[in-house]
């Protein structure tokens, strides 16, 4: 038995382990369950009892040495494979440039909207995207359990519904009126959230721009002239605008804003569904209750407000038919706007 152990020990030390095939043969011959070392352990019971302890120690040493030799060879082969893989790369090859897009179309349109309104005295006001019930609903004439709240599916952030993601940028109007006294003339561009199914025409995250003008003697005529100016600057001087009666809790009277279709110039096409008009937003005179709740005397001051979806304006201006393109970050889509100023 001892002679066999010594012979196998010599074979283990001399065994070539230079490739995966030789390593596998070594494992089967010496380490595997049916290998030669395992056979020696099976024959240990035939050794005389007084020698069994000593022979067993030699067998354990043989087994450990075989495993050690196997592990070392396996590590060396793996390291060599990694080195070969690294050296296989040609570092002299030219670099692959990063594929870049350009300014996002929503950013382009937002900047243009800001520039247009700045020219007639509007500044930019911003507010938090995480809001409370008061600024998002109650202060805007949306009392609790009012049916108008059903128009806006809301992401609430707490069980008591006191914290939420704003559903419109009208919240900034409230904060502006609470913290400042008239005259007020601002636009409020920003991101808003509504729990809606994502499709080519709707998204759970989108952008709005709203406007507010509060001063003594502000009338619906001022609202109309402001929006006439905006429509002509944004869509062209031949653009016409019309107002259709509507309902919004925070304005009275209220009106939807339509412009002549820029494709067919009012003749009727598939874009405007044959009507010659496309809707761009809503507007109206600020409800006296909203002025009062924000600390402004409605007997002294009046004001108008309007709101538009930036995605809607962008889709109309650049004839984009799928709203999802704005959030997919496809460079091929973004590079189409390289020449836009």
Structure tokens at 240: 């016409």
Distance from CA of residue 115 to its chain's centroid? Answer: 27
pLDDT in tens, 156-207: 887 777 889 999 999 999 999 999 999 999 999 999 999 888 888 889 999 9
Q: What is the pLDDT of residue 29?
A: 86
Q: What is the pLDDT of residue 106?
A: 94
Angle, helices 2-14/49-87, rounded to nearest 10 degrees: 10
- Rounded distance, CA 303 to CA 185, Å? 9
Secondary structure class of 238 (helix, strand, coil): coil
Average pLDDT over residues 281-293: 95
Q: What is the pLDDT of residue 89?
A: 66
Kindly report the number of other CB atoms within 10 A of residue 10's CB atom. 10
Secondary structure class of 163 (helix, strand, coil): strand
Give the count of alpha carbons within 13 A of 106, CB side only.
20
Lowest mean per-residue pLDDT among 50-54, 202-206, 258-262, 265-269: 265-269
Q: What is the pLDDT of residue 152?
A: 66
Structure tokens at 113: 């909207």
> Which is higher by pLDDT, 44 or 217?
217
* Most confident range, picked from 7-16, 95-104, 175-184, 260-269: 175-184
Could you identify the residue written with the tokens 């930036």?
A: 310
- Give rounded-to-5 percent helix, strand, coil for the chain: 45, 20, 35
Could you identify the residue written with the tokens 């002549």?
A: 260
Torsion of CA 320, 324, 326, 331, to 10 degrees: -90
159 is in an annotated binding site: no
Q: What is the pLDDT of residue 254?
A: 96
> Which is higher by pLDDT, 134 or 58?
134
**What per-residue string of b and e applies to 240-262 under the rule 16 or more CB within 10 Å gives b?**
ebebeeeebbbbeebbbbbbbbb
Average pLDDT over residues 330-335: 86
User: Concatenated DSSP letters for 133-161?
Assistant: HHHHTGGGT--TT-GGGGGS---BSSTTS
Q: Is residue 39 very low, low, confident or very high in pLDDT (cuts 50, 70, 90)?
A: confident
What domains lie within the chain, and their CATH numbers?
Answer: 1-82 (no CATH), 105-336 (3.30.930.10)
Total residue length of the chain:
341
Q: What is the pLDDT of residue 273?
A: 78
Residue 86 clears pLDDT 60, i.e. is over it: no
Kindly report the number of other CB atoms within 10 A of residue 204's CB atom. 15
- Rounded distance, CA 270 to CA 278, Å? 11
**Mean pLDDT taken over the chain:** 87
Average pLDDT over residues 247-264: 89
pTM equals 0.68
Give the count of alpha carbons within 13 A of 99, CB side only.
7
């Amino acid at each position: 038995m001892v002679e066999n152990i010594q012979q196998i020990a010599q074979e283990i030390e001399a065994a070539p382990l230079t490739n995966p095939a030789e390593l596998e043969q070594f494992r089967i011959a010496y380490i595997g369950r049916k290998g030669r070392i395992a056979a020696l352990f099976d024959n240990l019971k035939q050794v005389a009892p007084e020698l069994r302890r000593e022979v067993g120690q030699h067998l354990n040493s043989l087994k450990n040495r075989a495993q050690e030799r196997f592990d070392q060879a396996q590590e060396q082969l793996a390291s060599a494979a990694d080195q070969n893989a690294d050296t296989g790369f040609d570092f002299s090859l030219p670099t692959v440039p990063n594929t870049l897009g350009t300014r996002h179309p929503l950013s382009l349109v937002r900047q243009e909207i800001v520039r247009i309104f700045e020219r007639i005295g509007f500044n930019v006001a911003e507010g938090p995207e995480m809001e409370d019930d008061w600024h998002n609903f109650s202060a805007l004439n949306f009392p609790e359990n009012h049916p108008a709240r059903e128009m806006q599916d809301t992401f609430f952030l707490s069980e008591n519904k006191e914290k939420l993601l704003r559903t419109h940028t009208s919240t900034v109007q409230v904060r502006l009126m609470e913290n400042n006294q008239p005259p007020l003339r601002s636009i409020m561009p920003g991101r808003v959230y509504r729990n809606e199914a994502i499709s080519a025409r709707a998204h759970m995250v989108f952008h709005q721009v709203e406007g507010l003008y509060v001063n003594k003697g502000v009338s619906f005529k001022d609202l109309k002239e402001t929006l006439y100016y905006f429509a002509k600057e944004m869509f062209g001087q031949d653009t016409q605008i019309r107002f259709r009666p509507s309902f919004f809790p925070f304005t009275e009277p209220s009106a939807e804003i339509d412009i002549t279709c820029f494709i067919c110039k009012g003749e009727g096409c598939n874009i405007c569904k044959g009507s010659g008009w496309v809707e761009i937003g809503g507007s109206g005179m600020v409800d006296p209750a909203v002025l009062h709740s924000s600390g402004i005397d409605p007997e002294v001051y009046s004001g108008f407000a309007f709101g538009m979806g930036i995605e809607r304006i962008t889709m109309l201006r650049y004839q984009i038919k799928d709203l999802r393109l704005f959030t997919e970050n496809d460079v091929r889509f973004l590079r189409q706007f390289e020449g836009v100023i």
